[in-house]
Amino acid sequence: MVQIRLIRFRRSEFRREIYRPGVISLSRIVWGSVGGGLLLLLIGIFSIRCRVGVLYPPLAATCFISTSCVYLRVARVKSVIVGHFIAAVGGLLGVHAGEFLVGGTQWLLPVKLGLAVLLASVFMQILDADHPPAAATAAIPAILPLPVSELVLPLHMAWGGIIAVVFGVIWNRVWFEYPAPAEDVPRLALGVNMSRPDMAGCAICLAGFVLMCLRALSEGIYVAGLWIMLAGVLVLSTHQFFGAVVVRGGRNHMG
């Protein structure tokens, strides 16, 4: 049953059991909605000023999740950045696979869409970066012209994810801990609820983000930023495989 809470705007209204889907609260309606709108506005401004093209529809969904559904696992920092990156990769591969399999037939569009989302879903799950809005990142290359070349689209989407993450930290920490605490991640220095590899990967991505923002000044600096962003995404997306537990036949095996 949906709960309706129209009480005073205060810190207690941002607790996990209140600030979530299923509870209609003043805090989430006002703070979450205003934050989501401001976030997409900033992404648009940064994209134009920095000449870094992105796909706005999937990032719009990320804006909502990053400000109104912050306690969900899909709102994690890693999920936002890696999710959009790897979904773009999967989407582009799906488009090319569809053109190879049924190019020139009436089935081309649905096959491209299906393969794009299929591959993006597989990749996001393998890399533990489930992020529903990224499914749109995968599908858009099958139906619309891209704002940038295919080679750099995944990195541009990670760049957009960085804006969402940084804004989410600034906006949400006015009222509560963000990233939100997770049961399987101990609280680390500076009150950041992230593992050390995730923090390292985010720091590298942030460095790449800054250099990519300087594209108007130097194309060489922008290219360097692309490589650094790629390095950061690789750290974020692969560190969980070290020391991973593999479940096989009812037994756990350390990787």
What is the span of the domain harbouring residue 196? 3-254
| pLDDT (0 to 100) of residue 180 | 81
- Separation between Cα atoms, residue 212 and residue 255, nearest integer Å: 36
**Neighbour tally for 23: CB within 10 Å:** 15
Give percent above pLDDT 90 in the chain. Answer: 73
β-sheet bridge partners, residue 5: 25
Tokens for 105?
């037939």
What is the residue type of 253?
Answer: H
**Residues 13, 23 contacting (CB under 8 angstroms):** no
Is residue 190 very low, low, confident or very high in pLDDT (cuts 50, 70, 90)? low
Q: Which segments of the chain are extended strands (E)?
A: 3-5, 23-25, 245-248, 251-254
The least confident of 3-7, 79-83, 102-106, 114-118 is 3-7
Residue 49 makes CB contacts below 8 A (sequence gap 6+) with 216
Tokens for 129?
């970066």
Pairing outcome for strands 23-25 and 3-5? parallel
Is residue 80 very low, low, confident or very high in pLDDT (cuts 50, 70, 90)? very high
- Separation between Cα atoms, residue 70 and residue 24, nearest integer Å: 15
- Separation between Cα atoms, residue 133 and residue 75, nearest integer Å: 10
Residue 102 makes CB contacts below 8 A (sequence gap 6+) with 108, 111
Domain count, the chain: 1
β-sheet bridge partners, residue 25: 5
State the residue for tokens 């992230």.
Answer: 194
State the residue for tokens 């990519």.
Answer: 212
**Residues 212, 52 contacting (CB under 8 angstroms):** yes
State the average pLDDT over residues 79-96. Answer: 98
State the average pLDDT over residues 72-87. Answer: 96
